[in-house]
Amino acid sequence: MENQIEDASVLIDALGGTGEVARTCQVSEPSVSQWRKRGIPRPWQMFLRERYPERFDADGRVVAFGAAVDESEVGKAVALGSR
């Protein structure tokens, strides 16, 4: 579970942060903040994979590069847990 939460934060940061993901998904910022604590719900994972295919590798792992990502996270691939 902890790994899933870390993966959610990496993806949210790679997509521009809580506010940007909330606008993209047309949900509230507090909802996206909860995803950081509980993991991204499966339907939203699927949506984000479709919307941002360049952010995922062939195995469905997040490729964190670009906006608002810690230098230690750049280029790092992580598996997105199922929920």
Cβ-proximal residues to 42 (8 Å cutoff; 6+ apart), any chain: 82, 83
pLDDT the model gives residue 46: 92
- Residue 4 CA to residue 60 CA, distance in Å, equals 13
2-79 maps to CATH 1.10.260: yes
Instruction: Break the chain into its structural domains and give their ranges.
Output: 2-79
- pLDDT by residue for the chain (83 residues), tens only, comes to 556 667 899 999 999 999 999 999 999 999 999 999 999 999 999 999 999 998 888 888 887 665 444 444 444 444 555 44
pLDDT the model gives residue 61: 81
Three-class secondary structure of residue 82 per DSSP: coil
